A and B are shown apart, each in its own frame.
Chain A
Amino acid sequence: MHYKQTVGIIEMMFAMMLFLQGSTIILGVSLEAGKDVWLAVLSAGSAGLLLFSMYAYIWKKNDFQGLHVIFTNQLGKYLGFITSVVYSIYFAYIAARVITDFTQYINGTLLHNMLPFFIKFSIFLILIYTYLKGLEAFIRSAVIFGFFTLVFLLILPFIIVLSGIFNVEYIIPYDSIDVKQVAETVIPTLVTFPFGELIVFLALFPFIKERQSVFKGGSSVIIIFSIIYSILSFLIIGALHPDIASSYTYPFVAALEQLDTKYFIQRIDILAVIIFMIGGYFKITVFTFASIYVAKDCFSKTNINKAFLVSCIFIAIVLLSYTYSENHTMHIKVGLEIVPKYMHVPLQIIMPLIILLLTFVKTKRNKVR
């Protein structure tokens, strides 16, 4: 299939940044690691870097093609078709999960009495609108949003330290590192969410103009994000206390709420809510686009109406967002315990490993010939 190469690498990097930030920071997954949180995030980041280089390698060795083409090349026509459909559903499901994440987030922090349906509906409308405008416009908007987000995330540590809500007592002694706890947090939850989810970009990379610089750009985004994320998590632990931070529903907002007690910058948590909504929007939309592109590639040879297919995926996303999401506890339990183990690990790590092996063998064989 032919891809129109319209997206620049810088724009894609900003999109990846916002994607990684998405719902990661607000949910505070890393905080389970207690005061060694910085180590947990950094090791998850390095594992994420490994995963990303694997994805980039697969993509490069398969002639810079989309996910469906890679699967059919490596697994054959039928198996490739099935795998592509599985990935398409998987992306749609993750998009639905992030919609629910943000619905509950808005319900929990801003609009307590709003019916979740209305929030989902509004997100859904924005989603359709973005799709109508196309991928290029969407990825380009990442530069504007990403710039503000990045500035905010870079200033935030200084505000937290200067305002004095950071307590050094909470994180001493520095030298004792609980390796077991760190490992439990990192594997599998923190590696797969958010770093492993970058596999979704394999569906969007074919639209990039500068193909050679994807690996460099992507890895620098991962490195920058891991550093920012580890600093922020460390500061949250210092502001809230290791034992308490992980029991907050939204630890990051709770930490920022403390900010305004005695200083002139007040209610910065509302700004944080908006910044994270931008991240959420990018995460949802990237997954939706990926799901649609993979599905379109799959059915390109059949005579199914494209618009019908796309509408089906949109409706599937909305319907999927109602599964296991009656309440926040259930949603988080499923999202952080079951989904990483039974969906993320097979589809983000095991399947790409198989593809990597096949690609490797095939290129070797081609060389011999």
Chain B
Amino acid sequence: MKYLYMLFIILSISSIFFSQGDKHELNKTSFSFAIGIDYAKGGYEVSLQLINPGAISGEIILNNSPYIVYKATGKTIDSALEKISMNTSRSLDLQQEQIVLLGEELLRKGKIKDIIEYILHSTDIPSNSIIVTTKGNSARELLEIFSPIEGISSLEISNTLNKLGKKVSKTANDIKVDLIDDGKDIVVPYIELKGDAKKGGEKKNLETTEPTHFAFVGLALFKEEKLKSFMNYKDSLYLNLLYGKSSGFIIESSCPESEEKFAYKVTNSLAKKKEYQKEEDKYIFHYDLYLKGDISQYNCHLNLENPETSNQIEKQVKKSINNKTHKVLEHTKEHEMDPLGLGQIISQQDPKTWNKIKGDYPALLKNAEIKVNSHITIQNVGNYKSRGD
């Protein structure tokens, strides 16, 4: 035992002299909440939004910008990051990354797979960071904006997306799953810049009442690995409705008896039983939607106290859902994409047919049809019930 005690004591003492291998003092690292990746010739242009701690906290708050955007190009993302780290006095910490903003051009060139693999592989960027793309502007331009509400644009983007419901924001893992699965194309949310990009990069942007800002505009649709088209906000919500859960949005439809409009506010939705049926050369998909919601603005003349009226109203809502989903399907048919994962439904329910049609699959979608059987529940009709005039 004596030997062992001696060994233990000697080793313990000697361990004091080891240099700290992984020493990063908190005041010597620079945190980043968002990373933007754009296309550059022969590589990537990476822009990194670094938080400027002196401007946010501390005893004396500096009048500096709360964050700085550095950019660099490189053949790989890592080499670009290395170049960025040459610009700053602090070491980069990417572990707090919340947003990965991908430029439109990069995705149009079909680089999404490389980026996703990079994020999954990387030990620095957390795998739960949200993937977002842009429309019109480059990722760098969007990161340079002073966001008027949250102060830091990465927080504003992530909060905007999280607000919209579970299935809207996508992580690298989700996209990788869609890439692996046969018969489903990728969908990534995109944001757009509203206002002048140049003005948004100045601190004055925080002082006006009409600042440059960004907004969630919808979903970017892919064909295989290439970005093909953008779907606007309203259509994307219907796409989300068919995926499963999405809530808190308005369905407009016309009144049963006239051309006036009323609004149905969805509070809870559920998509069920995706059944597939083949009739001759047509592929028919049945969706069961369960919606719960309230009547919001009501311009119709029927009396809401009458149960008969709610039946008529439910019918109208069903009709507008059918019209809209039809429109969504038309959009995807036009570009020969399958964001709904209809091919996946075939492959799950009828593997034999799927193996036959796999080769020329997305083109066959021209014969697809969606039949939505929606079950509408009207929970509340508002504080003031009737308008029976």
Are these two chains actual partners, yes or no? Answer: yes
In the bound complex, do residue A241 and residue B7 qualify as a contact, i.e. CB atoms below 8 Å apart? no
Question: Which of A111, A115, A125, A307 is close to B3, meaning CB atoms less than 8 Å apart?
Answer: A307
Residues on the A chain within 8 Å of B11, using CB: 121, 124-125, 128
Binds A, one of B15-23, B186-194, B221-229: B15-23
Q: Which of A8-16, A153-161, A257-265 contacts B (4 or more CB under 8 A)?
A: A257-265
- Counting chain A CB atoms within 10 Å of each CB, which of B120, B173, B176 scores highest? B173
- The docked-state distance in angstroms from the alpha carbon of A26 to that of B204 is 50
* A114/B22 in contact, CB under 8 A: yes
Alpha-carbon distance A116/B128, docked complex (angstroms): 27
Residues of the B chain whose Cβ atoms lie less than 8 Å from the Cβ of A118:
18, 21
Whether A261 pairs with B22 at a CB distance below 8 angstroms is no
**Which among A108, A173, A248, A314 is the interface contact of B348 at CB below 8 angstroms?**
A173
Q: Which residues of B contact A90 (CB under 8 A)?
A: none
Between B12, B126, B162, B180, the greatest number of chain A beta carbons within 10 A of the residue's beta carbon is seen for B126
List residues of chain A with CB within 8 A of the CB of B166: 164, 262
Instruction: Please give me the residue from chain B that is nearest to A127 by CB atom.
Output: B8
User: Given the complex, which residues of B lie within 8 Å of A241, measured CB to CB?
Assistant: 173, 176-177, 180
Sample (20) of A-B pairs whose CB atoms are under 8 Å apart: A112-B22, A112-B124, A125-B11, A125-B12, A132-B1, A170-B177, A240-B173, A241-B176, A241-B180, A243-B177, A244-B176, A244-B177, A257-B128, A258-B128, A258-B171, A259-B128, A260-B128, A262-B162, A311-B3, A314-B7
How far does the alpha carbon of A240 sit from the alpha carbon of B11 in the complex, in Å? 43
* A113 interfacial by beta-carbon distance below 8 Å: yes
Q: Which residues of B contact A204 (CB under 8 A)?
A: none
Please report whether the interface of chain B is mostly helix, strand, loop or mixed according to DSSP: helix
Q: Out of A132, A172, A244, A314, which one reaches B180, CB within 8 Å?
A: A244
Query: Quick one: CB contact mask for A138-151 with B, threshold 8 Å, 1 for yes?
Result: 00000000000000
In the complex, chain B residues 1-51 whose Cβ is within 8 Å of any chain A Cβ:
1-5, 7-8, 11-12, 15, 18, 21-22
- Bound form: Cα–Cα A261–B12 in Å: 41
Interface status of B127 (Cβ within 8 A of chain A):
yes
Taking a contact as CB atoms under 8 Å apart, the answer to whether B21 and A122 are in contact is no
Distance between Cα atoms of A108 and B180 in the complex (Å): 26
Q: Which residues of A lie under 8 Å from residue B209 when comparing CB positions?
A: none
Does any Cβ of B come within 8 Å of A342's Cβ?
Answer: no
B212 located at the interface, meaning its Cβ lies under 8 Å from any Cβ of chain A in the complex: no
**Chain A residues, CB < 8 A from B171:** 258, 261
A78 part of interface (Cβ distance < 8 Å): no
A27 neighbours in B (Cβ, 8 Å): none
Contacts known (A258-B128, A262-B162); A114 close to B21, Cβ less than 8 A: yes
B binding-site residues for A, Cβ under 8 Å? 1-5, 7-8, 11-12, 15, 18, 21-22, 120, 123-124, 126-128, 130, 162, 166, 169, 171, 173, 176-177, 180, 348
- A247 → B minimal CB distance (Å): 9
Measured as residues with beta carbon below 8 angstroms from the partner, the interface class of chain A is 35 or more
A113-B21, A260-B128 given; A129·B8 CB < 8 A: yes
Whole-angstrom distance between the alpha carbons of A117 and B341 in the complex? 49
The answer to whether A215 has its CB under 8 Å from any CB of chain B is no
- Taking the closest CB of chain A, its distance from the CB of B128, in whole angstroms, is 5
- Taken together as a complex, chains A and B put the C-alpha atoms of A254 and B172 apart, in Å, by 11
4 closest Cβ pairs, A-B complex? A114-B21, A307-B3, A114-B22, A111-B22
A310 contacts B by Cβ under 8 Å: yes
A257 B126 Cβ-Cβ under 8 A? yes
A122 touches B15 (CB 8 A): yes
- Does the CB pair B7–A311 fall under 8 Å? yes
A131 to B4, CA, bound (A): 9
For B23, the closest partner residue in chain A by CB is A113
CA A131 to CA B127, docked complex, whole Å: 40
Task: For the complex, give the distance between the alpha carbons of A202 and B77 in Å.
Answer: 53
Q: Give Cα distance in the complex from A261 to B99, angstroms.
A: 11
Are A257 and B127 in contact, CB atoms less than 8 angstroms apart? yes
Q: Which of B1, B123, B169 contacts A307 (CB 8 A)?
A: B1
Interface string of A153-184 (1 = CB under 8 A from B): 00000000000100000101100000000000
Which residues does chain B contribute within 8 Å of A172, judged by CB atoms?
Answer: 348
User: Which residues of B are found within 8 Å of A111, using beta-carbon distances?
Assistant: 21-22
Query: Contacts A122-B15, A172-B348, A258-B171: A128 and B8 contacting too (C-beta < 8 A)?
Result: yes
